[in-house]
Each structure stands twice: as structure tokens, then as C-alpha cells.
Structure 1
């Protein structure tokens, strides 16, 4: 059953309504503030003017008496209509002496403060709203000064009507804005949801579409696509590794079975029995070595051991490895040398030593007699670069991408004892340290390179390719 469009269970509806309510409340608050501020300002100005006039007329009365006061009021009445000004002077018994109002407002005591009431003007004979203040003079006379409030009330009505229209416009605008915003957001979320559904269905090649705007949605999509690339790579490696384990361990397990079966043959001589036992132990050692390397690769791929990172002096580490393998190189008639320098990096010292040892062993395996195996240190763009090059036969260019794949052995003559996991472990250790493994042919020989991040922040960045 389709969900109603305006159902409150619909996230889009809730977002639109929330946006509409918040925008309306904010607009109403702003308009109310404008209305109150405008009224207070106008009322304050009116009170200031009326109070000043009232004080001025009282001073005129004190200085010049009643004649001076009447003259001042008559002078002000000449332009009173233009200023919406109101004046009224009465005797002690209420007799109108001057002004443009018919009579003293009932119930208003002189000096009672600011009042707002309706009075009849003499020039129009109409009742008008006024705001006024009054005083009692020394001789008992009563003086009232005010302003016609009709214009202010008209202003209030216009302001309220305009505020209502602005509020309705803000309501419509917030509704449209909320709808457009949720349409944009949910359309991008639908792209992510569709991609996720396809991936759950088994299509690991699907990626979140990017619209090329460079906005936050594209940035999130790019990050998620990189994550999906990595997941696809890991799943592919897992499948390849699983298939390779099933295929490559079958032969040593079969040989181990044959050795064990041979040991049960009563006709077997003691020497042959000892030979088969030693061969069986060799097969077991080989299997244990393969499983150990697979465990190390899995741990490195999962990032286990990062909590053991410490500052590692690559120059010292490389020097220790070179010193360890110099006797082996000398026995083969190969010169092993160390060049260059690199800054310390945060890393797992034993694993980095294992990776460099694997590279040196691989280079010595194919280095011809009388040649040189060079271990070189360097740096570039926030990364430390450690490379090992030999002068051997190299690798076909088409096989270079396969070097870091598990169980890949390009030398068939060595496949019986070489599991093909050495360079796969090196690549896993490089990725664990925010870097990468690469290899390229030289003339002659092969150069294998480890690119390692110099800081933990750089672990998420893409390492530079060796020049």
C-alpha cells in the first residue's frame, strides 16, 4: 500500500513542515519586533514633542502671563493642521479660552500624565483619537497639548496588513524552499540507496553517480565510491586468495599425505622411512609458513597493529637489514649497498623490517653474480620512499600488476617452495602505513618501491608514484 504523500511518517513531509513552521515563526517574530519597535519609536517621538511644547507654553505663561500664553497658542494654531497638533486652554471652570478642541475631555485631570482618548476638533467637528498630556497652571487654568493619532492608527493598520502579507509570503516561500531542499537531498539519497541495493544484490561494480557540481554531496559520493573501490578490491583479493589457497595448498597436502602413507609401509627400510619423515616435516613447515604469511597479510590489511606504531628511523632500519643480508649477498657474489636518507615515520617497526627483508630477499634471488643490489631511501610530497633494485632479468611489463597478488609465482622452477606471498605481504604492510607498493623494470633489473606516509594524517591521501 502506497504511503500518503503528507503522512507524518514521511521524512520529506516532516522536513518540509519543520522548515515551514520555523520560517513562519522566525518571520512572525521579526515582524512583531518591527511593529513594536516602530510603535515605541513613534510614541516616544510624539511624547517628546508634546512634552516640550507643554513645557514651552507653561514657560510662556510664567514669563508673559495669560496674554503671552494666548498669543503663543494662536501662533501655533496657524499650522496645527499640518502637524496634527491639538491645543486646548480652559479656565478653572472649563470655559474654553483658546485651542482647536470644543471642550475639556471628561475624566481627565490636569497633570494626570499621558492619555489617549477621542475628542472633537473644532475645524472638522469630528471625533478624532488623540494622544495628549495636560497641566494645571498657577491661576487654575488647564492646558492640554496633544497630537492627532489618526495617522498613527492608520500606520498601524497598514503595518499589520503588510506584516500579514509578508507572513503569508514567507509561509509560501518556506514551503517552496523546503520542498526544493528536500527534493534535492532525497534525490541524492535515492541515488545512494539504489547503489546500495545493487551492491547488496551482488553487483560490486556499482558506484554512486556524481553530478560534477563539486558540492558536499559529490564529495560524500566520491568518498563512498573510494570506499566501495577498496571493498571491491578486498573482496576480489579474498576470492583470489581463497581460490589460490584451495589450489596451491592441494599439492603440498597431497605430498604430505603420500609421505605419511609411505611411513605405514612395513616393507620400507629405516633409511627410506627417515627420509620420508623428513620430507613430511618439510611439507608441514611449508604449510605453516604459508599460513603464517596469510595471517600476517590479513592482519596488515585489517590495520591490526596500528596501536603499536612508533617513530621509526628508516635509515637505521634499512642499515640493520642490509647488515643482516650482506653475508648472504657475499656468498652469491653480489654487492649489497645502501644509499640516500629519509625522515623518521610513524610505523610498525617489525612489519617494516619484514617488508624490506622480503624485498631484499626477492632481489638477491634473481641478482646475477657480480651485480649490485641497491637499497635507496628518499622522500616526496610528505611520503618516505624506500626502494630495492637489482640487475636481474626483470619481469614482463604485463606481469608487473600481478606481483602483489597472493600466490603469484612468475618463476615456475621455484613454485614448489615459493608460496608467492612475500610481495603480497609487502603491499599489505605498505597500505597499512598509508602508502603503496609498486614495481617497474629498469635496464637491467627490477626496482620494487615502498611509499610510506610520514604522518598519520597522510594515511588517507593518495601516495605519489615514484619518479
Structure 2
């Protein structure tokens, strides 16, 4: 669960939900206390008005008139929640209900001294909360006016229950809102991540989709697309320059090679000059092969695969590649194993065959003697997977992207034959066919060979032909 909430979108959802819930709680608490304060103030106003009315009666008619008024209001109350009591200076009830008195208001008694207090009226069925005001009169007697707050308490309980229900709804709404925000952020970032992943796999034609809203995500998509356009333009310029050089130099190199070959034929066998000429012819052939590979790579990158591309049976193609490389591998005691099941992909059979040959060539070249090279074909719901695995030294993870660049060769392989275009050609063919290529550790070390390494797995994923 901890790892689940470590993602930025999840934390954002949690913060939004918490902020929404906190704001709702503060608002609800503020409303509750404000309403409670207003209800209490209204009750105090009622006590003050009723006390003032009874004091007016006392001033005009004296204590007998006040006593009669208290008895009258007690027997025939205008408000069932109001109660009245009149006590003499000795604490005897003169009229009204037996309401509890607070501590002595003043000693000796001071006319007009008042005190507000609260108590629970145990004489009622619901033990109603009661607020009261006691006022001392000139002869030491005390007038008590009380107000049961049943209606106010009921309103507070109802408001509290409604607040709790609203809080539960707010928690659910906050969680839903946070989840929607997290999903929205994740979806906006998923398009960027998917595009970056496809570009990392070698498809430089991908672009981040925008929605035209002009928000931060849309501006980020535009910046990334502008950056990709710039990188694509630079790469295209490098390719164009390389292709022009290869095209322009191929003809004079071919003439040079033919002249060197003629000189070699005219030179006596076994002489040092003939040996030098043979070396020069071989070097020229290697240069011509490199230029031919560059031009072939350029043509493949410029081609597109049409919707009417023929179906290519990959199993037969892998069998032919195995049969072609088996004698070469056998010279070093290497065995090529083929496994899997047949599957078809739309595309160019010659290019796909060249792709598999290049992968087998690398695997056999860098595999140790008397080891195994495994060639496998798997099919899934919408894709087919070609795996080529060896038991060689492998490729460090930090170098697995740059080995697909043109002429890129690792330091450990500088002395081996080759032009550094093999994996570039493989990636170009895979990209042209709507697939991608990745390099992994294979873990197929040979237990009988303590010095065998983990090996390298090259995986090419291609779209599966529709039934």
C-alpha cells in the first residue's frame, strides 16, 4: 500500500481529497457554532425580556403583584418551555415552580443583581436542558425566570446528524474527486510516456498527442514535439549526408577496386606486392560493403509498409536462417536451436529474412565456442515475437540504446569484423514493419561451463497478421 501511494498522481489525489474534506469540516464546524451561538443569544434575549416584564410588575404593584403574576404565568403559561419562581430571602418558595437557585447572588442582598446559569430539569421526561436568570429584589427575595431549550437542543441534534451525514458524503465525494483527478493526470501523462517508450524503441516518427486546451500538459506536448522535430531534422541531416557520401564514393571505390584487382592478377603469386594488393582489395571490398549497407539502410528507412503487404510465414523463414547459419556455427561447435510455433506477419519476406540473418550473425559471432544459440518464435494475441539468445558476454545496460546507432561499436568488439550497421539495419526493418526491438539479459548460462556469462536476448516484436 505504501508503494501504491508513492506515485505523484496518487499523492495529488490524496492532497485534493484531504483539502476538500478539511475545508468542508471547517465550514461545517463554523456553521454549527455560529447557529449554536445565535440560538443561545435568542434564549438569553427571551429571559431578559421576561425578567424585565416581571420587574415592571414588581415596581408598579410591589411584591404581592409580582407573586400573583408569577402564579398566573405558572398556571396558565403562554410558553410551555418557560418557567418562573419567586423565593423569599430565607429560601422559601413563594410562587411558581421549584426551580433550583444558584449560589447566593450577593451577601448582603443587592437589589438588581442578576446571574445567568444553566441546569438540567429532572422534572421533565426528556431531562431538558434549561437556561435561567436569577434577579435579586430589594427585600432580599429572588425572581427566577427559566427557559427549557428543548427546541434549540433538538435543532442542534438535527444539525449535528445532518453534518455527520454530509461529512460522510463529503468523504465519498472527496475520494471520488481525488480518484478522477488522479486518473485524469495519469491519462494525460500516459500518452507522453507511451510516446517516449516508442521513441526509445527507435520509432522517431511518434509524436505526443495534444488536445488544444493550452494547459500545462498541452504546452508540454508541444515542447516535446518541437524537440522531437528538431532531433528528427538533425538525424535526417546526418543520414542524408552519410547517404550522399556513400553514394558519391561508391562509384570511384568500385573503379579503384577493379584496378587493384587487375594489378593483383598481373602480379606474380607469392610476392609481397601481391599480398599487399590482396589486402587492399579486401579493404576496398569492406568499404564497398559498408556503403552498400548504408544505402540499403537508407532505402529501408524511406519505405513505408502498405496495408496490402503480403503475409510472411515466419517459421519457414527462421528454418531457412537456421539452415544457412548452422554450418558456420558448427565450425566453432555452436549449436543453433529452433523452438516455438508458426505465426505470420505482414511485410517484406526478404527484409525480415535479412533481419534474422543479422541477429544470428551477431549471436554466433559473440557466442563462446561449444555453446548454444537459441532461436524462438512466439505468438500472442496481436503480436509475434522473435527471440535470439546467446551465451556470450552480453551488452551492458547503459550501452543498449547506442548500439543501434550507425557505426556504433563497443570497445570490447572493436577488433572483430563488421561495419557497425547490423543492429541499425535490424531496427530499421523492425520499425518499418510496425514493430520494435529490445535487448535483455537472458540468463541461459551453461551449468557445465563455470565461465559462461548470462548471455544476451534480442527480442523483436512484430504485429501479427490478421486471420
- Which band: TM-score by shorter chain? 0.3 to 0.5
Q: TM-score, normalised by structure 1?
A: 0.46
Q: TM-score, normalised by structure 2?
A: 0.46
RCO greater where, 1 or 2, for CA within 8 Å and sep 6 or more?
2
